[in-house]
Structure 1
């Protein structure tokens, strides 16, 4: 039987404020650039690449923003649970519940690129345990299921 998380999802300015609080609690600074990157990421309705985010932040700031800088910030966001990385697409999604730690299982549409997630602690817990049983530590499940969303399967 699946164990599911119950958490509050944030959006808009409330999400930005929560992300800043979570990053600060992690001992990191919530700089203007980090806020701009998070705001741009949170505005996406599909997984976005660092290049997409760099372009959007650069346009908003009126000057070019290096994708390398955005990659570093996105990696920090993933480490601090502010964002999730869609490994198969090398793209990122803002975490709508940054204060909640769990392993997401992503459903990714092969046609439109939409990504949704759900939580199943029994499945991801079993994967963590399997990794430990094989002598690995700090196991981090990355589970992505690909197919067609309801709209594309039409």
Structure 2
């Protein structure tokens, strides 16, 4: 385990080929194949600097591959990525972001800018632990909290 404090820690964020390798390893560990289609969709997802919809990703893959890729097949693969922890779904935007550390299970807090759509993701396990505890006390079995904060980012302020 790497040492880090639990308040909004920053790891080195893997990018490009490293990120794709980490994603492939995580998907195969989940018992799934890393097909060329899945690789293309992951690369497209990882290339966006803000959450991308299935349509955005279908467009990007279609351009890159020179063939039509349907948003429906992209949706299915994105759902698979989310369940294998390779991607996160920003519920309120119906969009997806690549998970920069697919082998860490963190509860995410997304800061979503209403003006430019830029989404920052922070991990603060102390906040999400409180949310889990509150849910448990209400008799709810939480699997994973997804917390979204809407507002204006520093750039738009």
* Shorter-chain TM band: over 0.9
| Corresponding residue number in structure 1 for 2:145 | 141
Pick from 37, 40, 53: which aligns with 1:36? 40
Which runs of 5 or more residues in structure 1 are unaligned? none
Q: Distance in 1 between matches of 2:78 and 2:106?
A: 18
Shift of 1:107: 0.5
Output the CA distance in 2 between the equivalents of 1:51 and 1:6. 30
Who is 1:71 aligned against? 75
TM-score (norm 1): 0.93
Flag structure 2 segments of 5+ consecutive residues without an equivalent: none
TM-score of the superposed pair, with normalisation by structure 2: 0.92
Residue correspondences, number: 153
Greater mean alpha carbon deviation, residues 13-22 or residues 133-142: 133-142
Q: Deviations over 1:89-126 (max 9, x none)?
A: 00011111111111010111110000001111111011
* Aligned residue in 1 for 2:51: 47
Tell me the residue number matched to 1:84.
88
Does residue 120 (structure 1) correspond to residue 124 (structure 2)? The answer is: yes
Q: Distance in 2 between matches of 1:61 and 1:86?
A: 26
Matched, 1:102 2:106: yes
* Runs of 4 or more consecutive aligned structure 1 residues displaced over 6 Å after TM superposition: none
Deviation of 1:135 (Å): 1.6
User: Could you tell me which residue of structure 2 aligns to residue 61 of structure 1?
Assistant: 65
Query: Displacement, 1:6?
Result: 5.5
